[in-house]
Each structure stands twice: as structure tokens, then as C-alpha cells.
């Protein structure tokens, strides 16, 4: 109680001292003042001994932080005098122009800023910055904060994102539009000086041993190194094995030790490969084939454009629908039965793209007969046309 009485008497004294003084500012003016007292609902301000100002709750700002008596502030004048003789001030409006300038400068320079996560939804994180509500999409999170959820369950992803609410992140402003209020942040683009320092110990092309820390639909996360120097990288599903992957969990498990090849460390992200540590079985199998060679294979499946055939060495070739028969067909199974073995002719080998082109027609429907028959038809047609013309 004594503190309240003292605080009130100080304010009364200020009001007496200010009586009769001309106020040297107008509404809209940004003034400098000193905090007398502060709470979550209002802030009392000494305006250079000229007037007593008050900032109501609705005009406080998230950038103001926890103000303390003696703190210097800048505020915008809303009302010169209320019914109690106080000047009504706004920290929020005074900071608006400053925030706009800051965001524009950060977007232009690319310099990271620290922000606090205020909320989360299934698409990413919400960040209050001044009067703006910015958005940080999931795709723009740093690797360490990316929600690793098996099966991509939206509710589990949201739960992971909510764990970041209240945390401070270093981000870059990648899109700011003052008119529309659009504000997009990226943690990934901001980089991480600590991560950059750790990556100096990792070289592209290096083989390392790591521990699997997470398994998701698109690959596995692997932790490399120890303690403070440890970094985390991703082995994309396409880099796990040379064969098709239908169930990652059937191949790997969290905590498993694996050897990986460092493919890239660009943009502070470590891309890894497991399959590149082994010889490409496709290349080995394909080396036994040559264009023009006859080869046996089993039809695996059909599509609108042809049929896939399993060849020796567990590699697949494609018989384009035009290479199945000279007749016009719409379904490859009209000539090739799934699960049945046939002989094909190798007509192309693309080692880089892992593609082998096959032909069923060229072995079973020789083109020579067609070539001899066609001129006769054309000659016969020409004679008829001449006779009709005569």
C-alpha cells in the first residue's frame, strides 16, 4: 500500500508541475518519454516533464517487451488530453513505421532476425512481429526442427510443430508486402553459423558412419559426428537402395548404425547416400546385354504405352506398344500375357537413365515381309488411279 500511495503522489506532483504549460506536440506526433510504471494493461510515461502520458492495453506492442521504470520509449500521440488530463499514447502505432522499415531492410539485405513462435497450424508456424502475423511454412524449417512423422499424419505433424511455440528462431524475411500484410519467414534460408562451422569437418564424397535418428516416408535422417560437432543429414528414399523401396521400416530402424556417402552440403543441408557405396547392379546386369541381342524375359506389368519385362540380373526393360505388334492395339496384354516368359530383341540401352528398350515385334513379325508387301500395294493403287484417270 505505501508503494501505491507514493506512486500516486508522484503522478499528482507531475500533474501539478505541468499545469499551465503549453504542450509542444500534436496528435500523430512521435514523442520520446520515460517509463514511470508498467503493467500488462497500461504504461505510464513522463513526457520530458511536460506532460503525463498513458499507453492503454490496446496500444501496447509485442516488440515493447517488459518495460521497466526508467526505460526510454518512443510513442505516438493519439489524444492530447483525456478527461483526467493525461495524454493518450500508442507504442503500437509508433512502432509500425519502424517495423515496416526493419522488415523491408531485412528482406533486401537477407540479414537474419530473431523471432518468437506464437502459434502453429498444420502448414507451419505463426509468428507475431509488430502488427503483422508472419508465417513460416514447414518446408522452410531447419532440419533440426522439421517434424519427422511416419506416414505424414497431419495431427502428429501439428503436435510436433506446437512443440516449437514459444521458442525463438533465427529466420530470414523472404517475402514482405506492406499493403497486403503478407509476411513469410524462412529458417532454412537463414542458415546457422553453428551448422556452417560443423560442416567444415565434413567433405563431399567422404564416407562416414552415422546413426539413424528418424524415418519418414521420403527417407531417413542420420546423425553424423559426436557431441557438439554432430550434424544431421538426410538419405532420400531414392538414395537408400538400388532396388525399389516399398517399406522403409522393413529396411532400417531408428538407432541403427549405417555407413553413408556425403553427396552434398549445399545450403547448410547434408544430403547422403547409402546405395552409392555399393556397385550399381543395374550397370553390371546391363553390361551383359548388347543392342540386337535376343533375350528372354517375364512380363511384369502393362501400361497404356507398353509392357515392363523382368530380365536376367533383376533389371527391367520396356517394350513400347509400337514394338509389340505391327497391328494396332490399345492394351499390351492383347499380345503379351502378364507372368509369361517371352523372347525379345534388345533395341536400345541407356546406362545413364537405366533404361532398356525391347522389341517383341521385330523377333516375331519380321519387317522384311512388310517391306516387300507395301510397295506392291502402293504400285497396285497407282495403276488403279491411272486407269481411273484415263
Distance, in Å, from the CA atom of 338 to the CA atom of 333, rounded to the nearest integer, reads 7
Evaluate if residue 24 carries a pLDDT over 70.
no
Q: What percent of the chain has pLDDT over 70?
A: 84
Evaluate if residue 129 carries a pLDDT over 70.
yes
Assess if residue 283 is contained within a domain: no
Distance, in Å, from the CA atom of 203 to the CA atom of 274, rounded to the nearest integer, reads 16
The answer on 168 and 140 residing in a single domain is yes
Distance, in Å, from the CA atom of 189 to the CA atom of 172, rounded to the nearest integer, reads 6
The answer on 204 and 181 residing in a single domain is no
Q: Between 20 and 335, whose confidence is greater? A: 335
302-316 burial code (b ≥16 CB/10 A, e <16): beeebbbbebeeebb
Assess if residue 299 is contained within a domain: yes
- 357-386 pLDDT tens trace: 999 999 988 765 444 444 444 444 433 333
382 CB contacts (<8 Å, ≥6 apart)? Answer: none
pLDDT of residue 209: 95
Angle at 267 between CA 264 and CA 268, to 5 degrees: 80
Considering only CA atoms, which of 195, 170, 186 is closest in space to residue 138?
A: 186
For residues 65 and 75, is the Cβ–Cβ distance under 8 A?
A: no
The answer on 239 and 308 residing in a single domain is no
- 205-222 pLDDT tens trace: 999 999 998 888 889 999
Q: From 84, 107, 130, give the residue that closes a domain.
A: 107
Q: Between 91 and 11, whose confidence is greater? A: 91
Assess if residue 385 is contained within a domain: no
Evaluate if residue 133 carries a pLDDT over 60.
yes
The answer on 141 and 103 residing in a single domain is no
Section 333-357 average pLDDT? 94
The answer on 264 and 326 residing in a single domain is no
Assess if residue 16 is contained within a domain: no
Evaluate if residue 4 carries a pLDDT over 90.
no
- 275-331 pLDDT tens trace: 999 988 888 888 899 999 999 999 999 999 999 999 998 889 999 999 999 999 999
Tell me the helix, strand and coil percentages in the chain, rounded to 5: 30, 35, 30
pLDDT of residue 119: 95
Assess if residue 163 is contained within a domain: yes
Evaluate if residue 29 carries a pLDDT over 90.
no
The answer on 179 and 161 residing in a single domain is yes
* Residue matched to cell numbers 526493419: 102
Distance, in Å, from the CA atom of 273 to the CA atom of 261, rounded to the nearest integer, reads 5
The answer on 123 and 98 residing in a single domain is no
Bridge-partner residues for 234, per DSSP?
221, 271
- 231-289 pLDDT tens trace: 889 999 999 998 778 889 889 999 999 999 999 998 778 999 999 999 888 888 888 99
pTM attached to this predicted model: 0.50
CATH code, 200 = 2.40.50.140
In angstroms, how far is CA 210 from the centroid of its own chain?
24
pLDDT of residue 383: 35
The answer on 326 and 268 residing in a single domain is no
Assess if residue 374 is contained within a domain: no
The answer on 355 and 296 residing in a single domain is yes
Q: Which three cell numbers stand for residue 71?
A: 526505460
126: pLDDT confidence band, cut at 50, 70 and 90? very high
pLDDT of residue 156: 87
* Residue matched to cell numbers 500523430: 28
Evaluate if residue 25 carries a pLDDT over 90.
no
Assess if residue 298 is contained within a domain: yes
The answer on 89 and 145 residing in a single domain is no
pLDDT of residue 188: 82
Averaged pLDDT of the chain: 83
Burial of 253 (0-12, 13-18, 19+ CB in 10 A): exposed
Query: Could you tell me if residue 351 is left (phi over 0), alpha (psi between -120 and 50 degrees) or otherwise beta?
Result: alpha
pLDDT of residue 214: 86
Section 12-27 average pLDDT? 58
Helix (H) or strand (E) holding 198: helix 193-199
Angle at 205 between CA 201 and CA 211, to 5 degrees: 65
- The tally of domains found in the chain comes to 4
Q: Between 194 and 384, whose confidence is greater? A: 194
The answer on 85 and 68 residing in a single domain is yes
Assess if residue 353 is contained within a domain: yes
For the chain, the C-alpha Rg in angstroms (whole number) is 36
Q: From 221, 253, 277, give the residue that closes a domain.
A: 277
Query: Could you tell me if residue 219 is left (phi over 0), alpha (psi between -120 and 50 degrees) or otherwise beta?
Result: left
Sign of the torsion angle spanned by Cα atoms 105, 106, 110, 112? positive
Evaluate if residue 165 carries a pLDDT over 90.
yes
pLDDT of residue 17: 54
The answer on 273 and 238 residing in a single domain is yes
The domain of 233 spans 195-277
Q: From 277, 306, 338, give the residue that closes a domain.
A: 277
Q: Which three cell numbers stand for residue 378?
A: 502402293
Task: For 148, list phi and psi in degrees, rounded to 5.
Answer: -90, 105
Query: Could you tell me if residue 120 is left (phi over 0), alpha (psi between -120 and 50 degrees) or otherwise beta?
Result: beta
Q: Between 300 and 227, whose confidence is greater? A: 300
Amino acid at each position: 500500500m505505501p508503494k501505491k500511495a507514493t506512486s500516486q503522489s508522484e503522478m499528482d506532483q507531475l500533474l501539478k508541475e505541468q499545469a499551465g504549460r503549453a504542450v509542444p506536440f500534436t496528435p500523430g506526433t512521435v514523442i520520446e518519454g520515460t517509463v514511470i510504471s508498467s503493467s500488462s494493461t497500461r504504461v505510464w510515461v513522463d513526457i520530458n516533464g511536460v506532460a503525463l502520458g498513458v499507453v492503454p492495453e490496446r496500444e501496447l506492442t509485442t516488440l515493447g517487451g517488459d518495460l521497466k521504470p526508467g526505460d526510454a520509449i518512443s510513442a505516438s500521440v493519439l489524444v492530447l488530453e483525456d478527461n483526467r488530463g493525461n495524454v493518450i499514447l500508442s507504442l503500437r502505432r509508433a512502432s509500425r513505421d519502424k517495423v515496416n522499415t526493419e522488415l523491408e531492410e531485412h528482406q533486401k539485405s537477407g540479414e537474419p532476425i530473431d523471432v518468437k513462435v506464437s502459434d502453429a497450424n498444420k502448414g507451419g508456424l505463426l509468428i507475431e512481429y509488430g502488427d503483422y502475423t508472419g508465417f513460416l511454412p514447414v518446408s522452410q524449417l531447419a532440419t533440426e526442427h522439421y517434424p519427422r512423422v511416419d506416414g505424414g499424419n497431419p495431427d502428429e505433424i501439428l503436435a510436433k510443430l506446437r512443440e516449437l511455440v514459444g521458442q525463438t528462431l533465427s529466420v530470414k524475411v523472404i517475402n514482405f508486402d506492406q499493403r497486403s500484410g503478407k509476411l513469410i519467414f524462412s529458417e532454412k534460408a537463414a542458415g546457422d553459423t553453428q551448422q556452417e562451422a560443423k560442416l567444415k569437418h565434413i567433405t563431399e564424397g567422404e564416407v562416414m558412419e552415422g546413426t539413424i535418428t528418424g524415418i519418414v516416408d521420403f527417407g531417413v535422417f542420420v546423425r553424423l559426428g559426436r557431441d557438439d560437432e554432430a550434424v544431421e543429414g538426410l538419405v532420400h528414399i531414392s538414395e537408400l537402395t538400388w532396388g525399389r523401396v516399398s517399406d522403409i521400416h522393413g529396411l532400417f530402424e531408428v538407432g541403427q548404425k549405417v555407413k553413408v556417402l556425403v553427396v552434398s552440403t549445399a545450403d547448410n543441408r547434408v544430403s547422403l547416400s547409402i546405395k552409392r557405396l555399393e556397385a550399381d547392379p543395374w550397370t553390371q546386369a546391363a553390361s551383359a546385354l548388347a543392342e540386337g541381342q535376343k533375350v528372354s524375359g517375364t512380363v511384369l506389368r502393362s501400361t497404356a504405352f507398353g509392357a515392363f519385362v523382368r530380365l536376367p540380373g533383376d533389371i527391367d526393360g520396356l517394350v513400347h506398344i509400337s514394338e509389340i505388334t505391327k497391328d494396332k492395339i490399345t492394351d499390351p496384354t492383347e499380345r503379351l500375357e502378364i507372368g509369361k516368359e517371352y523372347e525379345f530383341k534388345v533395341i536400345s540401352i541407356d546406362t545413364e537413365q537405366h533404361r532398356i528398350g525391347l522389341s517383341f515385334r521385330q523377333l516375331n513379325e519380321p519387317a522384311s515381309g512388310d517391306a516387300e508387301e507395301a510397295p506392291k500395294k502402293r504400285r497396285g493403287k497407282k495403276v488403279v488411279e491411272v486407269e481411273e484417270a484415263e
